[in-house]
Structure formats: C-alpha cells, structure tokens
Amino acid sequence: MDRVRLGVLGAGNIAAMNVRGYLEDPRCDVVAVCDTDEEIGRQAVKEWHAQTYYADLSDMLADDSIDAVEVLTPTHLHHDHVIAALEAGKHVSVQKPVANSVEDALEMQAVAERTGMTLRISECFVHYPPLELAKRLVADGAIGKPTSLRIRTLVGQTDSPFQAALRPEGYGWRLDKRSPGGHLFDDMVHKYAMALWLLDLDITSVQAVVRRRDLFFEPCAVIFEYEDPEVLGMMEVQYSPSFYMRSKYYGADEFFEITGDEGQIWVTRATGELLDLAPVMLFTGTPHERKTTEFTDIDADWGTGFVRSSQHFVDALLHGTAAAMTAAEATDVLRLCFGVYQAAQLGTAVDPRTVTGTVSPPGWGEW
C-alpha cells in the first residue's frame, strides 16, 4: 500500500477533529463518509471533498477502493461496526473507549488477529505533545526513579465556539443505559489510559470513592497501586459547574504531576488553558543546583493530539508498524475504569486485571 484510502463511519460531534489529520496528510485520501443521518453525512462529504456518501455501513464496506475505516460512531456501536469492517477486509481505527464491555473488546481483538487486519484505538492523549514529552522525560531518568503519579481533572464551563457548535443529540447515548457510566466514563477513559501509559507500569490494585453529581458519576478520588510497590497513583475529578474556564474546546482541563526521587514534572494543561504556566515544567534539585526548566516551545493545543493520532494510523498502515493504542492496551484501560467502579461499589480494593464484563458506578441507572 503506498497511500491510504479512508472511509469515515460517523460524522458527528467529534468527527472534524479526527478527520483533520487525515485531510492534512498527503499520503491519505478521505474517499467516503457513512452516516445514518443523511444531512450530516452529505455535509461531511462536501466539507471533506470526499467522493461518496453511504447511508448504510454494509454498502461502504462493499466498496473495494476503501482500505481502512475510521469508526466515529457512538461507543455502544463500536463492537458491531469494528467487527463488520474487519470482516470486510478493512483496517480499522476506532475512537476510545474501545467498547462498553471487556468481552466485546476482546472479541474485537480476536477478529483483528484472525483476519490479519490492523485494529487500533485512537486515544488522542497518547499523541498530545506535552504528555509525550513528560513520558520521554520519565523514561530518560529526568526525575530519577518515579514514585508517584497524580492526575487531576477539573470540569467546568466554557463559551468556546467549539462547545457552542456541539449538537445536543450527540450526548443522549452517553447519558442513558447505552453507556456504563455517562459523560465522564467517556472522558475519564483518557485519564485511565494516562495512568497506565505515562509510567509504563501495570496497576495491581485500585481503591475509589465515587460520588453521584447532577451531570455524572465518576471517581472523586482514586488510589492506584502499581506493580512496583514503590509507586503510587492518585486520580481526582473536581466539578465546578458555574466556573467558566479558558478553553478552545470543552469546559475542562487536566493536570498531571509525576514525582521521582530526584525531581518532579508538571503537565499543566490538556483540554483547556486554565493556568498561565508553561505546558510542561521540570523541577530538579541537588545540593549544588535547584533548577526549574520550562518547556514553552511545544505545541500544547489539545487538538494536535487528534491530528497526530490520525497521522500515526496512516504511518502504521504504510510502514506496517504497530499502531497505538493496541486493542490489548485499550482493553486494559477499560478494565481499569471498571475496576474503579467495582472498588467504589464494594468499598474495597480491586485488582483491575481481574475485571470482566461491564461495571457501572454505584447508583448508575437509578433515575
């Protein structure tokens, strides 16, 4: 294959963010769009200069000119859509969360292995430059031996044009029984991915307190124990519904703090732009020198993670390299998320690696 001919399945709220990377990549042609909503689908064909609109997935999959499919449909449809595309001989990139149950995710992986097609899960945080830099600094020993990871999510409001343009219909499937955990199940999957990816260590135990709020059920506070007993992780979600935050995207922001025995790294932003700080900061100190390094010359636009994620998929297909995230990695992320819900329900520590099925936070569905 010397270029990728791509079909896009689902042209809803997040599609433009994902497709931008393909449109900007000279090695890729966006040739078709499939969406059951004809107006949305045809509008996307026009905007992306694609050739064909399909109302039905099976018709798009019968198109032999398409090599790969970008799956951007609601999460509860990922299992069926991904398997149909793989069985039709297409390579697949699918948005996080990979699926709504561990078994569905494992089946998707098994079909990819049997058919020999590439299946990758698009996780934009893995391709966000400040987080990539932080991971590289840790791996290069910039803070010595890691001892702790802290991830904080602050959810508020914003008046960004992006947020104002979101269609409310795109939120229905997140907030009812088609989702195991609502709005922040959808969002927090990014942070569970970071808890595993930044330190490249397995998590062996989670403890959690989950509170119900008007918008969502999520961990207010989680403690992770890693396979290395000297490393601990903490995750918090804070909700300030009347707090308007600076953001080009959603009214939310994330903060990451990685501590080692020789220093500390901060990633001071992701989705939003709350703080007036360098996107990445490194603090080190010896008896002779206390040093703060500010990494300002770095693309910290959250949208860049989407662009790079799409281009990474093209790279993987053209060069036959592994595409991040793999289905196995994304299934571990799902297990961690469900492990947190299970720990909150049981009031005891849970090994996320043992989690099966689908788990919801305490009280989910009682409305």
Q: Taking phi first (over 0 means left), then psi (-120 to 50 degrees means alpha), and beta for anything else, what does residue 357 get? A: left
The amino acid that residue 197 corresponds to is: W
Determine the size of the site formed for ligand NAD (CB under 6 A): 24
Q: Closest approach of Cβ 152 to ligand NAD, in Å?
A: 17
Residues numbered 3 to 32 that lie near ligand NAD (CB under 6 A) are 9-15
Beta bridge partners of 209: 221
Residues numbered 203 to 222 that lie near ligand NAD (CB under 6 A) are none
Q: Closest approach of Cβ 219 to ligand NAD, in Å?
A: 18
Torsions phi, psi for 297 (to 5 deg):
-85, 65
Q: Closest approach of Cβ 53 to ligand NAD, in Å?
A: 11
Q: Which of 3, 5, 63, 77 touches ligand NAD by CB under 6 A?
A: 77
Q: Which of 19, 31, 70, 73 touches ligand NAD by CB under 6 A?
A: 73
Q: Which of 68, 72, 133, 359 touches ligand NAD by CB under 6 A?
A: 72
Q: How far apart (Å, rounded) are the C-alpha atoms in residues 227 and 218?
A: 24
Q: Does 75 bind ligand NAD (CB under 6 A)?
A: yes
Q: Closest approach of Cβ 330 to ligand NAD, in Å?
A: 12
Q: Which of 19, 40, 111, 119 touches ligand NAD by CB under 6 A?
A: 40
Q: Closest approach of Cβ 141 to ligand NAD, in Å?
A: 31
From the list 69-77, 137-145, 252-260, 336-344, the region that binds ligand NAD by CB under 6 A is 69-77
Looking at the Cβ atoms of 74 and 233, the one nearer to ligand NAD is 74
Q: Does 330 bind ligand NAD (CB under 6 A)?
A: no
Residues numbered 94 to 123 that lie near ligand NAD (CB under 6 A) are 95-96
Q: Which of 44, 2, 56 is nearest to 20 (CA)?
A: 44
Q: Does 130 bind ligand NAD (CB under 6 A)?
A: no
Whether the upstream peptide bond of residue 97 has omega within 30° of 0, thus cis, is yes
Tokens coding 251? 């009214």
Tokens coding 56? 């039905």
Q: How far is CA 119 from the centre of its chain?
A: 15
Q: Is residue 85 helix, strand or coil?
A: helix
Beta bridge partners of 120: 93, 326
DSSP code for 124? G
CB 327 within 8 A of CB 109: yes
Q: Closest approach of Cβ 51 to ligand NAD, in Å?
A: 17
Q: Taking phi first (over 0 means left), then psi (-120 to 50 degrees means alpha), and beta for anything else, what does residue 53 get? A: beta
Q: Which residue's CB atom is positioned nearest to ligand NAD?
A: 12
Q: What is the bridge-based pairing of β-strands 68-71 and 146-157?
A: unpaired
Looking at the Cβ atoms of 67 and 186, the one nearer to ligand NAD is 186
Q: Which of 20, 23, 27, 37 touches ligand NAD by CB under 6 A?
A: 37
CB 334 within 8 A of CB 106: no
Q: Closest approach of Cβ 312 to ligand NAD, in Å?
A: 13
Q: Does 303 bind ligand NAD (CB under 6 A)?
A: no
Looking at the Cβ atoms of 16 and 350, the one nearer to ligand NAD is 16
Q: Which of 6, 25, 29, 35 touches ligand NAD by CB under 6 A?
A: 35
Q: Is residue 28 helix, strand or coil?
A: strand
From the list 70-78, 133-141, 237-245, 336-344, the region that binds ligand NAD by CB under 6 A is 70-78
**Does an H or E element contain 47, and which?**
helix 38-48
Q: What is the DSSP string of 264-320?
A: EEEE--SSS--S-S-SEEEEEE-SS-EEEEEE-SS---THHHHHHHHHHHHHHHHHT
Residues numbered 139 to 198 that lie near ligand NAD (CB under 6 A) are 167, 170, 186
Q: Name the residues that contact ligand NAD, by CB under 6 A.
A: 9-15, 34-37, 40, 57, 72-75, 77, 95-96, 124, 167, 170, 186
